[in-house]
Amino acid sequence: MRRALFIIPMALVALMLAGSISPLAAQVEEEAAAVVEETADALLDSAAVDSTAADSLAADSLAAQAEEEVPVEPEVVEPEPSAFARSGLVEFFHKGGKFMWGLLFLSVVGLASIIERAITLQKAKADVRKLMERVVGALKQGRLDQALDVCASTRGPVPQILHAGLRQAKKGTVAIEKAIETAGIIEMSFLERGLVILATIANVAPLLGFLGTVSGMISAFEAIAEAEQVSAKLVASGISEALITTMSGLAIAIPVQIAHNLYVQRIDRFVVEMEDSAAELVDTLASMDA
C-alpha cells in the first residue's frame, strides 16, 4: 500500500516532467533539423561552386590544348603585279570581251608569218648581174660544168632556174625552156608561200573586230534597257568598250596588209629577174649552138 502510494506521486512527477520536457525536445529537434538543412545547403552550394570552377578549368585546359594542336597558317603574301599588268594593256584586253582572244591569235600568226617571209625573201636575194656574168663567161669558154657549179653554189630562185636550164643544155632549146619554166613555177610557189595567210588575216581581223563591236553594242543596249535611270556615262562606257575590238582588228589588219603588199612587190621583182636571166641564158646557149 505504501509502495503504491509512493509510485503514484512518482508517476505524476514523471508525467509533469515529460510534459515540460516534450516541448523543449521538439524545439531542439526543430533547431537541429534547421541546422542540418542549412549545412546541407551550404555543402551543396560549395559543391556547385567547385564543380563550376572545375568545369571552367577543364574548358580552359581544352582550349589551350586545341590552340597548341592547331597549326598557325602563315600569312599569304600576294605578289605585286608586274609592270605589264600595271600598264593597262591587260585591262584594255579584258574590256574588249571574248572576241579579243581571236584577235590575239590572228596577231600572233600574222607576226610569225611576217618574220618568216622577211627571212625567206632576204635569203632569196642575190646579185643577179654578177651571177649572169660568171655563168655566161663560163659558157663562152666552153666550161658547162663550171657554170653549173656557180649556179649550185649560189642561193636564190634565179640560180636555181639557171641550174635547171643548164642541166638540159645538151638536149636543145626546147628542153632548156621547159626545164626553166618548170623550175620557175616551183620557185614562185616557194616565194609566195605564206602570202595567203597574210591576206587572210588582213581581211578577217577587221571583220572579227566588227563582230565584237556588234556583240558589245547588244550587251550595252541590254544594260541600258535594264537600268532604271539612263545616264550619258552608262551609254558612253558601254559603247567605248564595244569599239575596242574594232580598233584592235584594224590595228592588226593595217600592218599585215602593208607587209603583204611589200612582199608581193619583192616577189614581182624576183619574177622579172628570173625571166630576164632565163632569156639571156637561152640566147647564149642558142648562139653557141649556132
In-domain check, residue 75: no
In-domain check, residue 177: yes
- 9 and 144 together in one domain: no
Q: Which domain holds residue 252?
A: 100-289
- 203 and 253 together in one domain: yes
Whole-angstrom Cα distance, residue 42 to residue 40? 5
Whole-angstrom Cα distance, residue 213 to residue 202? 18
In-domain check, residue 181: yes
**Which pairs with CB-CB distance under 8 Å and at least 24 residues apart come from 87-95?**
92/244, 95/241, 95/244
CA 185, distance to chain mean position in Å, is 43
- 9 and 127 together in one domain: no
Q: How many CB atoms lie within 10 A of CB 236?
A: 11
Looking at residues 2-19, what average pLDDT do you find? 46
Q: Is the pLDDT of residue 98 over 70?
A: yes
Whole-angstrom Cα distance, residue 24 to residue 131? 151
Catalogue the E-assigned strands of the chain: none
Instruction: Evaluate if pTM is beyond 0.85.
Output: no
Q: Is the pLDDT of residue 95 over 60?
A: yes
CA distance readout (Å), 198 to 69, 95, 234: 65, 27, 38
| Higher local confidence (pLDDT), 94 or 58 | 94
Query: What are residue 114's phi and psi, to 5 degrees?
Result: -65, -45
Whole-angstrom Cα distance, residue 29 to residue 145? 148
pLDDT in tens, 114-150: 999 999 998 888 888 888 888 888 888 888 888 888 8
| Higher local confidence (pLDDT), 226 or 117 | 117
> Cell digits for 131?
651571177
- 156 and 26 together in one domain: no
In-domain check, residue 156: yes
- 105 and 44 together in one domain: no
Per the CB < 8 A criterion, the answer to whether 125 and 157 are in contact is no
- 40 and 163 together in one domain: no
- 163 and 222 together in one domain: yes
Torsion angle, alpha carbons of 215, 217, 223, 227, to 10: -170
At residue 64, the 3 state secondary structure works out as: helix
- 171 and 285 together in one domain: yes
pLDDT of residue 51: 52
Nearest to 157 by CA among 114, 196, 186, 195: 186
Q: Is the pLDDT of residue 2 over 50?
A: no
Mean pLDDT of the chain: 76
Query: Which residue matches cell numbers 639557171?
Result: 162
pLDDT of residue 75: 58
Q: How many CB atoms lie within 10 A of CB 185?
A: 11
pLDDT in tens, 33-92: 565 466 556 555 554 545 554 555 555 555 555 454 445 455 555 555 555 555 677 887
> Cell digits for 100?
579579243
In-domain check, residue 76: no
SS (H, E, C) 106-138: HHHHHHHHHHHHHHHHHHHCCCHHHHHHHHHHH
pLDDT in tens, 174-202: 888 899 889 989 988 888 888 999 999 99
- 212 and 136 together in one domain: yes
Whole-angstrom Cα distance, residue 186 to residue 180? 10
Highest mean pLDDT among 6-15, 26-35, 111-120, 121-130: 111-120
DSSP labels, 17-57: HHHHHHHHHHHHHHHHHHHHHHHHHHHHHHHHHHHHHHHHH
For the four alpha carbons of 273, 279, 281 and 284, in that order, the dihedral sign comes to: negative
Per the CB < 8 A criterion, the answer to whether 172 and 259 are in contact is no
Nearest to 146 by CA among 134, 130, 133: 134
In-domain check, residue 89: no
- 156 and 271 together in one domain: yes
- 31 and 144 together in one domain: no
Looking at residues 170-176, what average pLDDT do you find? 84
pLDDT of residue 87: 60
In-domain check, residue 85: no
CA 276, distance to chain mean position in Å, is 52
Counted domains in the chain: 2
| Higher local confidence (pLDDT), 50 or 210 | 210
